[in-house]
């Protein structure tokens, strides 16, 4: 019995130590995204990549690639690079220098590729830049008051919602749209590897399609599709022409252009249930009798389970809580309820790429 008690006591002490260390790390948890913001702004990952796939660079060498005359820059960079290495964003190797001392050399870890432009010039760097942008970040200072007094943190911070503010603030508009565009392209590339539901489609309407990045990826693989990108006038007017994509202005809460197949990516999570049902009803009315709606969204588990995808889902859900009136991520059952309310016969989760699901809504 004494051995069991001792083991239990040891486990309690061990768990308490782990809890303490976890809170210690969380107390400075904002440092990592802010350091990544700085690294992206300095193009450090790109500069290191240009040095070659096997290049190992010192902080002095990396500093020499920056437009700086600050004599402290190499020392500051070295501390930042060590920090990034501790989170496995970089590899580091300590070697002897010419004076018999030691110097640290740094090289890119595989995760750095996600921050580098691909063959189409897109990366996940812009998505990371959105939540750390001041316009977005200010929302968090108003969350407590929103809970106690009501309202939306983003609106309390700016006097406008997350769709109105980018129109008022051209700088934030660029940050916002670049993040959504790059994310759309990267997600669609991966989804198109596993989802085959566009193979027989002749006409596709992307509802709330933004600048057309999602459709552009689809028609690149399926050029015979007539692709219609539908969004509000302010968004469409800023969109560059895209081969194979037709832009149509309108309001999805009022009507939607008729089409054989509809799709929406990351639209429903922006709205409360009533607004979602309105959008879905308009999609339903615009579809033919055998039509379907393709929805791309995160799908929350019914119970939080602590895995990476679950954490991402709940992080995005809290983000919606902060920036959008009624916006939220949903479970499969919640999507089924929305579909039923809008008149759809059924839905089916088809496949997932990383954390994004393809959900098909069937009219009949």
pLDDT at 6 over 80: no
* Separation between Cα atoms, residue 123 and residue 40, nearest integer Å: 11
Let me know whether 103 and 131 are in one domain: no
pLDDT, tens digit (0-9, with 9 covering 90-100), for 299-341 = 999 999 989 999 999 999 999 999 998 999 999 999 999 999 9
Q: Tokens 């999570």 map to which residue?
A: 269
Q: Are residues 214 and 334 in the same domain?
A: yes
Residues 158 and 97 in one domain: no
Residue 212 near residue 229 (C-beta atoms within 8 A): yes
Are 205 and 174 in a shared domain?
yes
- pLDDT per position as a tens digit, 81-134: 999 999 999 999 998 887 878 899 999 999 999 999 998 899 999 999 999 999
Q: What is the mean pLDDT of the chain?
A: 94
Query: How many angstroms separate the CA atoms of 253 and 285, rounded?
Result: 12
Enter the pTM of the model.
Answer: 0.89
Do residues 267 and 333 both lie within one domain? Answer: yes
CATH number assigned to the domain comprising residue 166: 3.40.50.150
Residue 18 lies inside a defined structural domain of this protein:
no
Residue 34 placed within a domain: yes
What per-residue confidence (pLDDT) applies to 152?
A: 96
C-alpha 333: how far from its chain's center?
23
Domain count across the chain: 2
Query: Of 115, 150, 171, which residue constitutes the final position of a domain?
Result: 115
Q: Are residues 143 and 200 in the same domain?
A: yes
Among all residues, which ones are annotated catalytic? 269
- Band of pLDDT at residue 7, cut at 50, 70 and 90: low
Upper half-sphere CA count for residue 146 (Cβ side, 13 Å) = 18
Same domain (yes/no): 270, 182 = yes
- CA 89 to chain centroid, in Å, comes to 19
Is residue 24 assigned to a domain?
no
| Mean pLDDT value of segment 250-278 | 98
| Helical ranges in the chain per DSSP H | 2-27, 31-42, 44-50, 59-64, 73-86, 125-129, 134-137, 143-149, 153-158, 164-168, 170-194, 213-221, 233-236, 273-286, 308-323, 332-342
Give the pLDDT mean for 56-77. Answer: 97
For residue 17, is it within any domain?
A: no
Give the span between the Cα atoms of 231 and 218, in whole angstroms. Answer: 17
4 falls within a domain: no
Has residue 107 been placed in a domain? yes
CA–CA gap between residue 248 and residue 314 (Å, rounded): 33
Residue 50 shares a structural domain with residue 186: no
Same-domain pairing of 46 and 182: no
Is 9 a member of any domain?
no
Same domain, 164 and 65: no
pLDDT digits (tens, 9 = 90+) for 194-223: 999 999 999 999 999 988 999 999 999 999
Closest CA to 264 of 208, 219, 320: 208
**Nearest 5°: phi and psi at 29?**
-65, -25
Q: What angle do CA 176, 180, 182 make, to 5 degrees?
A: 115
In a domain, 6, yes or no: no
Contact 292, 347 (CB under 8 A): no
pLDDT of 3 above 80: no
Residues 136, 194 within the same domain = yes
Range of the domain at 201: 124-362
331 and 255 belong to one structural domain: yes
Return the CATH number at 52.
1.10.10.10
**Full DSSP string of 289-354:** TT-EEEEEE-EE-SS---SHHHHHHHHHHHHHHHHSSS---EEHHHHHHHHHHHT-SEEEEEEEET
Ramachandran angles phi, psi of 71, nearest 5°: -65, -20
């Amino acid at each position: 019995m004494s051995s069991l008690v001792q083991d239990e006591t040891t486990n309690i002490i061990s768990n308490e130590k782990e809890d303490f260390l976890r809170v210690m790390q969380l107390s400075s948890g904002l440092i990592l995204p802010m350091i990544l913001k700085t690294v992206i702004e300095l193009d450090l990952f790109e500069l290191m990549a240009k040095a070659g796939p096997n290049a190992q660079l010192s902080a002095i060498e990396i500093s020499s690639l920056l437009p700086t005359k600050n004599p402290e820059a190499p020392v500051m960079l070295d501390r930042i690079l060590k920090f990034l290495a501790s989170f496995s964003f970089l590899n580091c190797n300590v070697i002897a220098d010419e004076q018999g001392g030691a110097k640290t050399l740094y090289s890119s870890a595989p995760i750095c590729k996600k921050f580098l432009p691909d063959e189409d010039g897109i990366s996940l760097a812009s998505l990371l830049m959105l939540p750390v942008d001041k316009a977005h970040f200010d929302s968090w200072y108003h969350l407590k008051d929103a809970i106690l007094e009501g309202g939306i943190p983003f609106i309390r911070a700016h006097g406008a919602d997350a769709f109105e503010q980018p129109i008022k603030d051209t700088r934030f508009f660029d940050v916002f749209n670049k993040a959504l565009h790059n994310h759309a392209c990267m997600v669609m590339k991966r989804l198109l590897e596993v989802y085959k539901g566009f193979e027989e489609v002749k006409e596709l309407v992307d509802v709330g399609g933004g600048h057309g990045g999602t459709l552009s990826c689809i028609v690149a693989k399926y050029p015979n599709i007539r692709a219609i990108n539908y969004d509000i006038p302010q968004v469409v007017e800023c969109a560059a022409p895209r081969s194979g994509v037709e832009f149509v202005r309108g309001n999805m809460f009022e009507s939607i252009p008729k089409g054989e197949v509809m799709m929406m990516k990351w639209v429903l999570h922006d709205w409360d249930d009533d607004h979602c049902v309105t959008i879905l009803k308009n999609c339903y009315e615009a579809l033919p009798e055998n039509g379907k709606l393709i929805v791309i969204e995160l799908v929350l588990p019914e119970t939080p389970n602590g895995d990476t995808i679950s954490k991402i889902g709940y992080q995005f859900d809290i983000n919606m809580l902060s920036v959008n009136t009624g916006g939220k991520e949903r479970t499969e059952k919640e999507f089924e309820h929305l579909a039923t309310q809008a008149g759809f016969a059924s839905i089916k989760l088809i496949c997932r790429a990383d954390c994004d699901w393809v959900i098909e809504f069937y009219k009949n």
